[in-house]
Amino acid sequence: MDKGIAICLAGANVAQTAAILAARLEGLGRVAAVIDQTTVDRFGSAKQAREGCGYLSRRRVIVVVIHPEVQPTGESLDIEVDANDTPDFAAEKVLDALAAAGVIAPETLLACSAEEEKQIRERLAALGYIE
């Protein structure tokens, strides 16, 4: 279950979605990397960035690619971000796709932090569902 993969994002708000997705993955205990124009410039070319994606994903990193010229080698998911989705919602959709592909465990998506649990309890109490 702890395998790497490249996720190629295209569409609307991909930079924001990629940042949120990487943060969520790291919050789930996974290592994530985003390949964007700055990263391609550091590698020197899209070809070298593609090779870097392969290297990282073979080492159990989830690589989020938002550069249109980088086509990763190895296992990858191509995901089109809907223009009507917020970056947060789009990131959750990608997490669902990763769970369906067996890259992350579905039960990890249900976990929430202590702060999130506190906020949920406060909202439920304000609505009268709990005391």
Question: Given a cut of 80, is residue 107 above it in pLDDT?
Answer: no
What tens digit of pLDDT does each residue of 41-79 get? Answer: 999 999 999 999 999 999 999 999 999 999 998 889 999
Taking the C-alpha atoms of residue 8 and residue 18, their distance in angstroms, rounded to an integer, is: 10
Asked, for residue 65, whether it belongs to a domain, the answer is yes
Asked, for residue 95, whether it belongs to a domain, the answer is yes
Asked, for residue 121, whether it belongs to a domain, the answer is yes
Domain of 19: which CATH number?
3.40.50.300
CB 108 within 8 A of CB 28: yes
Taking the C-alpha atoms of residue 62 and residue 34, their distance in angstroms, rounded to an integer, is: 9
pLDDT at 9: 97
Asked, for residue 131, whether it belongs to a domain, the answer is no
Phi, psi at residue 62, to the nearest 5°?
-95, 115
Judge if pTM exceeds 0.85.
no
pLDDT at 25: 93
Phi, psi at residue 17, to the nearest 5°?
-60, -45
Q: Which domain holds residue 11?
A: 5-126
Taking the C-alpha atoms of residue 96 and residue 21, their distance in angstroms, rounded to an integer, is: 11
Question: Given a cut of 80, is residue 22 above it in pLDDT?
Answer: yes
Taking the C-alpha atoms of residue 35 and residue 16, their distance in angstroms, rounded to an integer, is: 13
pLDDT confidence bin for 1, thresholds 50/70/90: low
Asked, for residue 98, whether it belongs to a domain, the answer is yes
pLDDT at 130: 84
For the chain, what is the domain count?
1
Asked, for residue 79, whether it belongs to a domain, the answer is yes
Question: Given a cut of 90, is residue 32 above it in pLDDT?
Answer: yes
